[in-house]
A and B are shown apart, each in its own frame.
Chain A
Amino acid sequence: MTTVLVVDDDRDLCEALCELCEDEGFTALAAFDAMEALAISERQPVDVVLSDLNMPRMNGIELYTWFSEQATIPMFVLTSTSRPQNWPTDRLFLEKPIDFDRLVQLVRAGT
């Protein structure tokens, strides 16, 4: 079973995304900031990360570097702007509000 780690400091959004993932048959884990996400990923295996970009303490880009390059876990970034500052042009991001059908496709393809 695919485990999806959802990271967003907006609790409502984070929880709604978790529920959506679970309805798709994924195991969903919620983290309200990047530090919490790192802690969870150390405790248990994670297959895909969905993360907000602007968060306190550690931002999505740092988290992205950690998951994609260090831990080699695919990560999809969710943003509220059409193009996040400093975002590498060849990397994918999803703009809020999120089209969940597309998100599911990506998660399945990513795993």
Chain B
Amino acid sequence: MRGWTASGFGQMNGVAGLMGVNSRPGTRILWLLVATIVLLSGASTLLSYRYAEQSNDRVTARSLEQIETTAAAVDAFLDQRIGVLQALATTPVIAQGTPREQDDYFARVDLEAVGFDGGLGLVSLDGRMTAFANAESPQSVLDVSDRSYVESVMASGAPQVGEAVVERPDELLTLPIAVPVRLVDGRMSGVLVGVIRLDGNGASSLFRFLTPDVTVVDGAGHVIVEDGTVAKLRSVRDDPTYREMVTATTGVDRDATDLKGEQHMLVSHAAVETGGWMIVSATPRGEAFGDSRGQLLEELVINGLLSVLALGGAWCATRRLDRAAEAAARSSAVSGAQSRVLERIARRHPLDDIVNAVREEFAALFPTDESHDRLKAVEPTDAEVGERGGSGSHPPAPNVDGPEGEATRAAAHLIEIAVEQERSAGEIVRSERRYRSLVEANSAAVWLYDQGRPHNETSPWWREFTGQAPAEVDDLGWLDAVHPDDRDRTREMWKRVIAAGAAFSDTFRVRSATGEYRELEIRGVPTPTADGRAVEWIGTYVDVTEERRQAEALRISEERLRLAMDAAELGAWDWDLVTGAVSWSPVVERHVGLAPGAFGGTIEAVRAFIHPDDRPHVVERARRALELGEAYSAEFRMIRPDGSTRWTRTSGLVIRDWTGKPLRLLGVDVDITEEKERQRERQLFLASVAHDLKNPIAVLKASAQLLQRRTARGLPLDAEEVKARLAVIDANASRLARRLDDLSDLSQLEAGIPVDLHVGRVDLVDIARSCVDSARRASVAHNLRLETEQESIVGEWDATRIERVLDNLISNAIKYSPDGGEIDVRLWSDTVDAYASVADHGIGVPIPEQTAVFHYQRRGSNVGSIAGSGVGLAGAARLVALAGGELSLVPKDGPGATFVVRLPLRPAGEGHA
């Protein structure tokens, strides 16, 4: 007997072994009962839908109460709603508008903002798929929903719920749903395909629409009211209470604007207690709901969503009911088994009988091989049976009156407690998980800090994110994953939070499992215990790395833009059409001669700067941009406070709201005064070049016509006359060629292309004499004099070009002394340079312009209509410079001008001869 008891159970069960030191029969019965309890409580654990994975005994009383209340409310509502949901689910969506409009609308709507999780898409009749929902690609929505399944909906016109795909037991399942979309005339325009993922997020989406006494505010600012009608919507967009609520719960001002003046997409979510659960998500993208067409289509979206969600909800609820029924059956089976076993114990059945009963009940509850194996463990072996003293009889029945009876009662009580504990543990954990789902649906990750529990247990996400081993996380070990630069600060922060028991939020960098540092925003609130001490914090982590990077990238790009605009002297302006305010960047202010910040900031102030003659043009361009959507660009003059005029080129664009109403007109200004001046000079230059070239051509043509006409009339041609005419033709052809050479040299020199010089030994006196002679022939009104004391001045120059320089100077002198008079050409030299001066008594050059006359487009301001391109002097100066010399104007005010050419006798680099 002793050995039977001690060794038998000692071998099969560690618990029994420990207890086997005492071999009294009562004790034997006690641990037999304990073994039974272990088995039965194992059964009830398994039967609790694996909800009992975690111990709940540290959840504070208050949390428990909250969670249970909520969970009960959710359950009750879900049960109560099944009828409504099923009715909704079988109602086809009635939509107005053309399929095209629907497509357009769907493309604009952000269903994520409406609170939909999972996939949603619209399959048009031609099989084209448009996906709208978050995260799901069109293909994945179709993959799950299956084309043939969609086609069957198209054929039958009836909504269908597909087969759920369970991805992880009890964790995630995907439920495809298809609802026909009809136009008002009843024609089907497509099939709305939804895929609901019933994990934490998916479930919470359902709760958003289905939870009782819950105000669900979606991104469009709509609310589902709590009167039992799921489809009834009430707009709260402009409700100040709603705004306050959003601000209070998200911590973000709903009307907050970013740098560009656009409203933030407020992705913050919060769950707060307001009788039930309120889930708030806000995004200004929802503002898209508004016009009449939008309103109609909005109903389509909402109804479509509701249908999809309702179908999912109905399925989910049905499934839950099935499970509840199953659970109840299981539970009653367990309690039946328990009571039957207990009854046998109470009636002092033989031990073998009790053991057999346990085995049978267990087998009935767990009809698997595994359970049989487990059951075998309680069966005595043959050896053990043999040790019973060969009596072959049943062991003595327990004595209920003695210590053994006490033990039996204690065992029964233990069973009750165990069963009760397991039952409530299952409920609580289930509730806790629901609560968790709700929170997780609304933030990146959830953490729980409980001073009595290892950190690694309460915040599995942290380990997953950082890749830290469980042991590494505890006792502030998690700080090792925090960036070294942030670590001390974070440790101090954490200590302060723990000491003060306060709510907090902070941001720090954390090394992810891949080794990359990510910026996390952490928020937490303490959950006070009954005695008011904070021992537990619950909070969220949000990975804000991308957000921060984008903000930084935006800042850098704006900085670059500003630098580029400053470098390009581009001024920026911005006219807010709503408030009427105009802002100018300092560059614009500089353009109009204002000190930075001195601009008045109104459109009237802008108007005052625009030249009165240009105002109608600018106003018209702006009108066309705002009303007709044309590109805005204009060139106009701005008048500076000092009265001077600057040319401005402006171009801008209109920012509109989604209805097309203009909100802002903004753009850039560039000062084009210099460009306009160059343009004008260029026009004048080209006009004078044309004049210079056309005159010799006109002479050639006139001469030709003269000879032709005389020949045609048979008039006698006098040889002298012909000779004279040919000389004129020759001279003008040469003149034309020289002008073209001038232009060609000039353009080459202006473009920085070297000009080929033909340098040889040349006598400057010879050249000057020939120039003066030909000039004399051309002008009878002027008295040309050549003065030199030297027979010859020989240097190394390009003869043709030196001749052109002198020609230019002399013809210039003739041109600008229209009243005739003396023109003196003087030549002299020293040992190094030769000089030639040309002096006239004409109109002279005003002193301020004396340096400018050598610029190729510049001519004196006093030349009036005197023909000439101004190419001559500029070209001459360039040619002289090319020869290593210099052309200058002797400074002098009033009439008369003297130009002096200095030419080195030898090219630079060669010594004296």
Contacts and interface: CB of A to CB of B under 8 A. Distances in A.
Interface of A: 9-13, 15-17, 19-20, 23, 32-33, 53-57, 59-60, 78, 80-81, 85, 96-98, 100
Contact of B703 (A16, A60, A80, A96): A16
A17 B728 CA distance: 13
A96 B695 contact: yes
A15 to B, nearest CB: 8
Contacts of B697: 96-97
The 5 closest A-B pairs by CB, nearest first: A56-B818, A97-B701, A80-B694, A16-B702, A59-B865
B702 A32 contact: no
A92 B140 CA distance: 79
Contacts of B815: 56
Contacts of B713: 23
A51 to B, nearest CB: 12
B865 A54 contact: yes
A23 B715 contact: yes
Contact of A12 (B690, B694, B732): B732
B778 A11 contact: yes
A96 B698 contact: yes
A19 B706 contact: yes
Interface in B834-875: 864-867
A59 B691 contact: no
Contacts of B702: 13, 16-17, 20, 97-98, 100
Nearest to B865: A59
A79 to B, nearest CB: 8
A52 to B, nearest CB: 8
B683 to A, nearest CB: 10
Interface of B: 687, 690-691, 693-703, 705-706, 709-710, 713, 715, 728, 731-732, 778-779, 781, 815-816, 818-819, 864-867
**How would you classify the secondary structure of chain B's contact residues: helix, strand, loop or mixed?**
helix
Contacts of B705: 20, 100
Contacts of B732: 12
Contacts of A33: 818
B867 A54 contact: yes
B571 to A, nearest CB: 33
A23 B706 contact: yes
B864 A13 contact: no
A97 B694 contact: yes
Contacts of A9: 867
Contacts of B864: 56, 59
Given A32-B781, A80-B690, A97-B694, A16 B866 contact: no
B687 A11 contact: no
B867 A55 contact: yes
A80 B728 contact: no
Contacts of B778: 11
A16 B693 CA distance: 17
A27 to B, nearest CB: 17
Nearest to B779: A11
B559 to A, nearest CB: 48
A100 B706 CA distance: 9
Given A97-B701, A98-B702, A13 B695 contact: yes
Given A10-B699, A55-B867, A81-B691, A16 B818 contact: no
Contacts of A97: 694, 697-698, 700-702
B818 to A, nearest CB: 3
Contacts of B696: 12
A42 B512 CA distance: 104
Nearest to B697: A97
Contacts of A57: 818-819
A100 to B, nearest CB: 5
Interface centre among A11, A56, A85, A100 (most CB of B within 10 A): A56
B866 A56 contact: yes
A97 B736 CA distance: 13
Given A10-B695, A16-B703, 5 more contacts: A12-B728, A55-B866, A56-B815, A80-B693, A97-B694
Nearest to A32: B781
Query: Which of B691, B731, B779, B865 has most A Cβ within 10 Å?
Result: B865
B307 to A, nearest CB: 74
14 contacts: A10-B695, A10-B698, A12-B696, A16-B702, A16-B706, A16-B728, A54-B866, A54-B867, A56-B865, A57-B819, A59-B864, A59-B865, A60-B865, A100-B705
Contacts of A15: 728
Contact of B710 (A10, A23, A55, A60): A23
Contacts of B710: 23
A19 B705 CA distance: 10
Nearest to B867: A54
A98 B865 contact: no
Contacts of B819: 57
Nearest to A56: B818
Nearest to B843: A56
A75 B700 CA distance: 23
Contacts of B693: 80
B711 to A, nearest CB: 11
Contacts of A10: 695, 698-699
A12 B731 contact: yes
A54 B690 CA distance: 12
A19 B819 CA distance: 26
B865 A55 contact: yes
A96 B867 CA distance: 14
A70 B828 CA distance: 52
A59 B781 CA distance: 18
Most chain B CB inside 10 Å of its own CB: which residue of A12, A17, A96: A12
Nearest to B866: A56
B91 to A, nearest CB: 76
Contact of B699 (A13, A32, A53): A13
B610 to A, nearest CB: 26
Contacts of B690: 80-81
Contact of A96 (B694, B816, B865): B694
A5 B866 CA distance: 21
A53 B687 CA distance: 13
A16 B695 CA distance: 12
Contacts of B816: 56
Contacts of B781: 32
Nearest to B695: A10
Given A54-B691, A56-B866, A20 B709 contact: yes
A11 B779 CA distance: 8
A61 B818 CA distance: 18
A92 B691 CA distance: 19
Given A19-B706, A98-B701, A80 B695 contact: yes
A46 B694 CA distance: 27
A81 B713 CA distance: 32
Nearest to B715: A23
A19 B778 CA distance: 17
Given A33-B818, A81-B687, A97-B701, A23 B709 contact: yes
Contacts of A59: 864-865
A53 B701 CA distance: 19
Contacts of B691: 54, 80-81
Contacts of B687: 81, 85
